[in-house]
Chains A and B, each alone.
Chain A
Amino acid sequence: DTAVSQTPKYLVTQMGNDKSIKCEQNLGHDTMYWYKQDSKKFLKIMFSYNNKELIINETVPNRFSPKSPDKAHLNLHINSLELGDSAVYFCASSQEGRSPLHFGNGTRLTVT
Chain B
Amino acid sequence: QKEVEQNSGPLSVPEGAIASLNCTYSDRGSQSFFWYRQYSGKSPELIMFIYSNGDKEDGRFTAQLNKASQYVSLLIRDSQPSDSATYLCAVTPRDSNYQLIWGAGTKLIIKP
A contacts, CB < 8 Å to B: 31, 33, 40-45, 48, 50, 55-56, 90, 96-98, 100-106
How far does the alpha carbon of A67 sit from the alpha carbon of B43 in the complex, in Å? 22
How far does the alpha carbon of A105 sit from the alpha carbon of B49 in the complex, in Å? 21
**Structural contact, A103 and B98, CB atoms closer than 8 A:** no
Residues A101 and B105 in contact in the complex (CB < 8 Å), given A45-B99, A45-B100: no
Residues A100 and B104 in contact in the complex (CB < 8 Å), given A43-B44, A43-B88, A105-B43: no
Instruction: Give the 6 A-B residue pairs with the shortest CB-CB distance, closest first.
Output: A97-B97, A103-B43, A97-B98, A98-B32, A100-B46, A43-B102
Residues A90 and B100 in contact in the complex (CB < 8 Å), given A41-B86, A97-B92, A98-B32: no
B25 to A: closest C-beta gap in Å? 15
Please name 12 further chain A to chain B contacts, defined as beta carbons within 8 Å, in addition to the given A100-B46, A106-B42, A106-B43, sorted by A numbering. Answer: A31-B98, A33-B98, A41-B86, A45-B100, A56-B99, A90-B43, A90-B44, A96-B97, A102-B46, A103-B43, A105-B42, A105-B43
B contacts, CB < 8 Å to A: 31-32, 34, 36, 38, 42-46, 49, 86, 88, 92, 96-100, 102, 104-105
How far does the alpha carbon of A90 sit from the alpha carbon of B102 in the complex, in Å? 14
